[in-house]
Amino acid sequence: MELILLGFYVLALSVLSIFGLYGLVMVITYLRLKPSDPQLGPLLPDSELPLVTVQLPVFNERYVVERLISAVCELDWPKERLEIQVLDDSTDDTVLLSQTVVDRKVAEGYDVKLLHRTNRSGFKAGALKEGLSVARGEFLAIFDADFIPSSNFLRDTVPHLVGDPGIGMVQARWEHINSDYSLLTRVQAMALDAHFAMEQQVRNRARVFINFNGTAGVWRKSCIIEAGDWHSDTLTEDLDLSYRAQLSGWRFLYLNDVTVPAELPAEVNGLKLQQFRWTKGAIETAKKHLWRVWQSDQPLLVKLHATVHLTSNVVFPFILFIALLNLPIILIKKAHPELDLYYNLMAIFILASISTFLFYLVAQRDIRGDWKRRMLLFPVFMAGTMGLAVNNTKAVLEAVFNKKSEFKRTPKYNITKKEDTWTRSLYRFSKISLGTVIELLLAFYFAVGIAISIWLVEIAALPFQLMYLFGFGFAGYLSLRHAWARG
């Protein structure tokens, strides 16, 4: 039995190490492939600019919908060449607010239309699909409710599509309007910065598949149609369409220097909901497309990167598995000191952790002047990733076993400065989930494990145990605190 447990532990550590070392591959690729400045298309006079449709998928966003519509109406693009669709599936008074803002903007001369559905069929994908069917624009820009595009967004993106008919989508980098609101938002900012500044940028440089991130991007309408339109059979309709389009021969472009600020979830239960959707949707998309990727005539490099891209979320069950096995493995090692393999395995895992550190370090250095200060949060970020293992493992298992679930949007509260609060919001979470209870139990488990490790003088195990303790404890504590918070 002891050897079986050790074998499973070896397997789990190996999987985490493989995905961890992929970060080193990304760093090497980043350093090896210098960025090439994408050439803008011809600078056309305003009278010759293409018609652009801006789609704003909205669902119960009473706190930010006016901000969104107002920002889009400030885009530097001729009014007669700009169509705005507010795709509002709301079931609360958001639709009334949307209509009020739309009426005001129409009176100001903007081409703004409110498309309100009452059945919410297909969720966000269904709303985008229905909007596409009546969109007049040759190109379609998409912004979620929490984004605030700058006025020059279309000027910075659309010319790339005009100048190169082979480009099907242009993606901008996300920025954050509330990254310094709390420790929770600072950690999220670090994760998203790494995705964009490293993953998206490196894949774009290496000419492998990247993905539309669901917002802050511009599509060529013909690309969407030729790729089969929006599908709602996964929770990540953006990732799904991205792979269908690129497998059909379309190229994507990522612009690291074009940014669109957005609001990060300030409440941990909303973050968990977002992470659950992203994790489950990615695995669903992997099941749908990974075989097609390997059956395609794409280069081997594209296939390998796509495999890691689509399957990276499988690490969460292994993180949880290692957490549960940590204490038994320590006891096995103490009972069998001849098993030096334990230390060797820890060395491999540490190497993968260093690789991950370099991955985030390079990302922060690329886009943040205060990157040294920000990297002090890396241990907190790693612990936080561990703390999400319960939530995200559930997402992975549901995807693997084909359990379907509805698209639940992440609530936005119009949090832009430290004194803002979400505790009086109608959308706040007030229930305590089973996952939160499990997180708190795991925190207690590691508190006991730390005491046993100190008693057995197994000092090498303490750093990881402390990170697990902080990760599960932080996730569970914040979930309780935010559920019970009152304005």
* Identity of residue 457: V
Angle of helix 389-400 versus helix 315-335 axis, rounded to 10: 120
What gap in Å lies between CA 249 and CA 151, rounded to an integer?
31
How many C-beta atoms lie closer than 10 Å to residue 57's C-beta?
A: 25
What gap in Å lies between CA 38 and CA 351, rounded to an integer?
35
**Residue (of 449, 455, 446) closest to 387 by Cα position:** 446
Q: How many helices (H) and strands (E) does the chain have?
A: 18, 7
Strand 167-176: give its sheet, edge to edge. 111-116, 82-88, 52-58, 139-142, 217-220, 167-176, 251-262
10 Å CB burial of residue 287 (0-12, 13-18, 19+) is: middle
Indicate which residues carry an active-site annotation: 89, 238
Print the SS3 string covering 251-277.
EEEEEEEEEEEECCCCCHHHHHHHHHH
Q: Which residues pair with 308 in a beta bridge?
A: none
Work out whether strand 111-116 and strand 82-88 pair parallel, antiparallel, or are unpaired.
parallel
What gap in Å lies between CA 139 and CA 169, rounded to an integer?
9
Name residue, tokens 């430290």.
Answer: 418
Q: Do 284 and 235 form a contact (C-beta atoms < 8 A)?
A: yes
CA distances from 122 to 125, 162, 366 (A): 6, 31, 38
What gap in Å lies between CA 63 and CA 65, rounded to an integer?
6
